[in-house]
């Protein structure tokens, strides 16, 4: 069977009628015991399984997914990748993710379709420009590439924006991260799944967690719809459903779950070659490789697990987009969806051991989960393998809420991006 993707293997399989490809990943029945269990078959869970095997040599791992691989937030986001955050702790964790994204296709032998097309965040007032200048200074000090743009710079990069006199959202300038961009969400999930499976990880779909096995005050495994599975180390990366599983384990998390919705238009010829974010309209826009305009906005501010969102919020998103780009007014919308995001008080993730020893957390990414997948996987894998924090993950431990050491990134992650 052909395992490695290359120009030569594509040619050989083309000659052979595409009959020799190995399955992308195995789907075995669960074993009764593993060295480690990972709950959640989205990007963070799959990345954790891969890095646990690759970086730490732990391959007797079960990845358990209630539905199908990539069927949650990983398949319901808007694919933006960036690292231009304000605080040093955030710059370190998102910077790690960003650096791994740049080589992800080579690392996984799977095209993740990372495109460094640049991220433009607009400023619509003099006060907005002052805030932008402060942000750029902090981001540059953190070692992240970022520039302050004038209105002329914005006009050069996005000439189709609404620069007409009297517009509700005039452009004064903005911030620009040239190395930011997008990746293909499905490809990221499938690439990690394939790579983890090749290293020996068991990917088990349609396997719902119904309870935790707790003995002597420690997590010793899980009870699932496919039977009990034991391990001394369990990692949990289930995004908006983190609080639900935490309740099953007997503790509470400072997490609220909200719907974050987006939509795509019919495909059109290339018209915008970067990602444009407007904090004032609460809208951001990019164009996919297929030509669809990907349009996102702010959270639905009612706690929900509905994966479709609601029409009033969608109406506001479309209205904001048309204020920014009247040229899009005749486009037809093709699809609309929502992901369930887990928001914590300081808009920063939670990474570390839970109040139940033996159960480790990766949650609280809010609207920033997709861009952080490689870092979230690397850091949770380190915790599972060593029982100790990586230097980058230590500031994001759950105990920061008791210590009062919050990392308040609401300004950097409050808008849906």
Q: What is the pLDDT of residue 414?
A: 47
| DSSP-derived secondary structure for 149-186 | EEHHHHHHH-TTS---TT-SS---EEEEETT-EE--HH
- The sheet carrying 293-296 orders its strands as 147-150, 173-177, 119-123, 275-278, 283-287, 293-296, 256-265, 333-343
Task: Evaluate the CA torsion angle 14, 28, 361, 339 in order and state its sign.
Answer: positive
Q: Per-residue confidence of the chain (417 residues) as pLDDT tens digits? A: 778 898 899 888 898 898 888 888 999 999 999 999 999 999 999 999 999 999 999 999 999 999 999 999 998 899 999 999 999 999 999 999 999 999 999 999 999 999 999 999 999 999 999 999 999 999 999 999 999 999 999 999 999 999 998 899 999 999 999 999 999 999 999 999 999 999 999 999 999 999 999 999 999 999 999 999 999 999 999 999 999 999 999 999 999 999 998 999 999 999 999 999 998 988 999 999 999 999 998 888 888 888 877 888 889 999 999 999 999 999 999 999 899 999 999 999 999 999 999 999 999 999 899 999 999 999 999 999 999 999 999 999 999 999 999 998 876 654 543
Alpha-carbon Rg for the chain in angstroms: 22
Nearest CA to 182 out of 101, 109, 263, 259 is that of 101
d(CA 309, CA 161): 27
Record the pTM. 0.95
- How many of the other CB atoms lie within 10 Å of CB of 146? 24
d(CA 294, CA 287): 6
Residue 108 tokens read as 């996984």
3-state secondary structure of 87: coil
Using the structure block, give the residue that is written with the tokens 């007014």.
Answer: 329
């Amino acid at each position: 069977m052909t395992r490695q993707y290359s120009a030569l293997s594509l040619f050989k399989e083309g000659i052979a009628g595409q009959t020799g490809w190995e399955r992308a990943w195995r789907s075995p029945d669960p074993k009764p015991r593993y060295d480690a269990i990972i709950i959640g078959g989205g990007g963070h869970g799959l990345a954790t399984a891969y890095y646990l095997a690759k970086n730490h040599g732990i391959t007797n791992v079960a990845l358990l997914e209630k539905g199908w691989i990539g069927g949650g937030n990983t398949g319901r986001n808007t694919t933006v990748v960036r690292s231009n955050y304000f605080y040093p702790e955030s710059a370190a964790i998102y910077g790690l993710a960003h650096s791994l994204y740049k080589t992800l296709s080579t690392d996984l032998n799977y095209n993740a379709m990372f495109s460094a097309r640049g991220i433009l965040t607009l400023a619509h007032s003099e006060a907005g420009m002052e805030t932008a200048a402060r942000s750029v200074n902090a981001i540059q000090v953190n070692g992240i590439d970022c520039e302050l743009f004038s209105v002329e710079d914005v006009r050069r990069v996005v000439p189709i924006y609404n620069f007409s006199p009297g517009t509700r959202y005039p452009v004064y300038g903005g911030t620009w991260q040239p190395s930011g961009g997008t990746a293909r969400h499905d490809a990221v999930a499938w690439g990690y799944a394939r790579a983890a499976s090749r290293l020996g990880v068991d990917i088990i779909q349609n396997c719902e967690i119904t309870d935790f096995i707790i003995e002597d005050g420690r997590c010793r495994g899980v009870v699932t719809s496919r039977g009990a599975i034991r391990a001394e180390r369990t990692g949990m990366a289930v995004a908006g459903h983190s609080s639900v599983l935490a309740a099953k384990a007997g503790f509470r998390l400072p997490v609220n779950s909200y719907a974050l919705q987006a939509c795509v238009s019919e495909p059109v010829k290339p018209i915008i070659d970067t990602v444009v974010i407007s904090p004032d309209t609460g809208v951001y826009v990019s164009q996919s490789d297929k030509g669809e305009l990907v349009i996102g906005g702010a959270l639905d501010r009612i706690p929900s697990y509905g994966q479709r969102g609601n029409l009033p919020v969608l109406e506001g998103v479309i209205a904001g987009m048309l204020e920014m780009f009247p040229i899009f007014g005749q486009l037809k919308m093709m699809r609309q969806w929502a992901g369930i995001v887990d928001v914590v008080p300081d808009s920063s993730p939670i990474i570390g051991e839970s109040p139940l020893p033996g159960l480790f957390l990766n949650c609280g990414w809010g609207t920033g989960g997709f861009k952080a997948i490689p870092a979230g996987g690397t850091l949770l894998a380190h915790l599972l393998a060593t029982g100790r924090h990586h230097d980058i993950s230590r500031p994001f431990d759950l105990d920061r809420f008791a210590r009062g050491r919050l990392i308040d990134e609401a300004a950097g992650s409050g808008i849906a991006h």
